[in-house]
Amino acid sequence: MNDLPLARFTVDRLAELRSNPQWFEQAWAADNTRVLVLHERSIPVTDELSIVWVKPWSLKMSQSEAQEVALFLGADEDHTYIAIMEDEVGLTDVNWASLRDVGAALSAKDVGLATAAIALSAWHEGHQFCPKCGAKTEVAMAGWSRKCNVHDSEHYPRTEPAMIVAVEDLAGRILLGRRREWPEGWLSTLAGFVEAGESCEAAVIREVYEESGIHVDLQSLKYMGSQPWPFPASLMLAYRAVATSTEVEMHDEEMTEVQWFSRDEFVAACTAQTLKLPSPVSIAFRLIQSWYGEDIPMQWCRS
């Protein structure tokens, strides 16, 4: 699966610059630097759904203030890109949008930069204190780490691997389920976090069994691709797999219904709106589309 909406990073991250102390000073003063201001995990977009990038000098913020909340995203031949975890900087006349809502509509460059910015800012928000001694940590490495000055340790952003799988039976039916917190009609492919000390393939077998009672043939697993899902820190690893059993029996409290859909049943349920598919920005949507074998009409998705 190519061109997954949130996996389209096109800009050089220039990781080697992150530890250069002069870098930020120069970048903040440069006329070709563009800043993405974040507001409660939302991004500023125009009515035409492109990101509102601003120049550093247009913000009500000094260089030293900015440095404490800046995330260096990368650079291309035209611009250097920085995100700022601070909305009190005088940005007006913009729409604040969630990456989930606008991610599929943004350009590859914009969505790649916004995905990195949202993932990093979520990590900073949840990791303000040293996990070893509890002291307040400071932003370091141009936003790519946090430093504890009490015992001189550095801490890096975490990504949590999660698997998602389109399970088919031998008759070609797809297995879809509804999580307990989802409204009626919202069904999707099964998914779950990889546990400590577990391979992703083992997580597929375990989660499918826990959520549906279905046994999956390990040899049938086919890796389909990955995309970051920074809500707040997941990396979704997608598979297709074939079941060796068909009787559904739920073993945990996560799901409220799990059922098989033949192609005809799937089309009928989507048309009748009794089945509402995940948003096109999700890897789940693309997995379901890969099973379906042709483009899925947008009106079949949750709005």
Note the residues at the interface with Zn ion (CB under 5 A).
130, 132-133, 135, 148, 150-151
Give, rounded to a whole angstrom, the gap between the first and last alpha carbons of the chain.
23
Nearer to Zn ion, 154 or 198 (CB): 154
How far, in Å, CA of 140 to CA of 67, rounded?
A: 9
Nearer to Zn ion, 111 or 130 (CB): 130
Task: For residue 200, give every residue at least 6 positions away whose Cβ sits within 8 Å of its Cβ, in sequence order, or none.
Answer: 161, 163, 194, 237
The CA–CA distances, whole Å, from 177 to 11, 225, 235, 241, 265 equal 37, 21, 20, 15, 15
Among 287, 100, 295, 297, CA closest to 187: 287
Tokens coding 144? 């790519």
Using DSSP's 3-state secondary structure scheme, residue 180 falls into coil
* The dihedral sign for the CA sequence 78, 82, 88, 92: positive
Nearer to Zn ion, 123 or 239 (CB): 123
Rounded to the nearest whole angstrom, what is the least distance from the CB of residue 146 to Zn ion in the complex?
A: 10
Rounded to the nearest whole angstrom, what is the least distance from the CB of residue 151 to Zn ion in the complex?
A: 5
Rounded to the nearest whole angstrom, what is the least distance from the CB of residue 140 to Zn ion in the complex?
A: 13
Nearer to Zn ion, 116 or 130 (CB): 130
Nearer to Zn ion, 151 or 294 (CB): 151
Rounded to the nearest whole angstrom, what is the least distance from the CB of residue 153 to Zn ion in the complex?
A: 6
Rounded to the nearest whole angstrom, what is the least distance from the CB of residue 133 to Zn ion in the complex?
A: 3
Rounded to the nearest whole angstrom, what is the least distance from the CB of residue 155 to Zn ion in the complex?
A: 9
Nearer to Zn ion, 3 or 138 (CB): 138
How far, in Å, CA of 75 to CA of 32, rounded?
A: 10
